[in-house]
Structure 1
């Protein structure tokens, strides 16, 4: 297992709302670090000269210099994920060997998939954001699967088979495990995207539970250990389908 490293990200987009979305997503992923934000390609060039960057979220249509032209000017560019509202630019992006192409408005699950594509498990530069083993269904592999959460100023390793349930607490998330409780500043949606839907199910806007830890359930509640987890109306059909 290689050492967990931070992926330094640069956001380049002339639209402040678009930068805000990507900024929030970057902040929600513990292994990502926001190295800077730029409103145009000229600012981005200066930022790249000042500090190393591992990944650029690059808009295509910008004033002065568009994203594709800017990318062509870089001799040794970092990995690039295009973010744009215009799908007709996708082909040109792939011809430039970009990692992925995110169509605005960018969904978080699609964002996370692109990041994992840029830095897959076993990459020489960094470990993946999601450390879940791919062979779900094999007991020995499931028991080896884990994720990292930032807590107490360090990255803490959590084995998936130890997680009982996860609870949202406004800007924080509580991960309840058989070994104890971890509190991390992260959204529950970002945590959900890190977990396998074969092992976990979202039961409520504030709760995710480990399917194999469920002791009993009704249409309104799930019992895990000594806790009663609510089933929200919007999630009920999906939860019942999964459990049946």
Structure 2
């Protein structure tokens, strides 16, 4: 499981801020570092705070949210507002998402997942180095389609790569792999397998039809375990 995103909430309307905080507390991927109802106080104190994401209103007194966002250019930004006309300006300053009020938890969750992908893309390398059956290897995330627990030795993991490539990672757990794989691009679907979303062609209640061909030249089928279904659906 990836670490939580450290976020700050900013809205001058106390009821709106309280509601936003309540929604964020229900999203396990978020850790609320601080809550502000005054943009000037936020700007004064934010340099002393360790955070990655700012969720803020646009219409505020003294200084609007668009201007605030431009003063913290290294942070992820999600705007919340009752007005749709600011959307173009919001995305011109590279906002991760733009949510209109009243906020919905499912829509906020999608925005948070977008933030996770954006932040991890900046913070994580594009590859993993690991001991394999061929020696020490560099494996690029974009080349990985499916990771399966080895039948011969459960400590090892079989990796299916694009262009029918295969390699065996030696003595590494699926949990450890999930820590380094980009969230939103890969997901664990059962006790034995991690799949890249780009390898998903179709899916039903409990099964994925992949773009990978098996030995009979038919699409490889992967089971979705009941305990992993919600994680799989979160980014679909």
- The 5-angstrom pairing of residues 1-244 of structure 1 reads 4-74=2-72, 76-120=73-117, 123-125=121-123, 128=183, 132=187, 134=197, 135=200, 136=203, 137-138=208-209, 142-143=222-223, 161-163=225-227, 196=233
Aligned length: 152
Q: So what's the TM-score if we normalise by structure 1? A: 0.54
Is 1:56–1:79's contact at 8 Å kept on the other side of the alignment?
yes
* Structure 1 residue 128 displacement after superposition: 3.6
* 1: CA distance, partners of 2:112 / 2:222: 23
Match of 1:221 in 2: none
TM-score (structure 2 length as normaliser): 0.55
SS of 2:225 mapped into structure 1 = helix
Residues in 1 aligned to 2:221 and 2:50: alpha-carbon distance in whole angstroms = 36
The equivalent residue for 1:171 is none
8 Å contact kept, 1:40–1:65: no
The DSSP-based 3-state class of the residue aligned with 1:114 is: helix
SS of the equivalent of 1:112 reads helix
Q: Distance in 1 between matches of 2:23 and 2:81?
A: 16
Alpha-carbon distance, 1:124 to partner: 4.6
The answer to whether the 8 Å contact 1:57/1:83 transfers is yes
Asked which structure has the greater CA Rg, the reply is: 2
Cα gap change, 1:18 to 1:195, in 2 (>3 Å): farther
The Cα shift of 1:73 comes to 2.7
Q: Rate the CA distance shift 1:39–1:161 in 2: closer, same or farther, 3 A.
A: same
Q: Distance in 2 between matches of 1:59 and 1:114?
A: 15
- TM-fit CA distance, 1:63: 0.7
Structure 1 unaligned blocks of 5 or more = 144-159, 164-176, 178-190, 200-244
Cα deviation 1:154-194 (Å, max 9, x = unaligned): xxxxxx5043xxxxxxxxxxxxx9xxxxxxxxxxxxx96x5
| Compared CA separation, residues 124 and 15, structure 1 to 2 (3 A) | same
Deviation at 1:141, TM superposition (A): 7.6
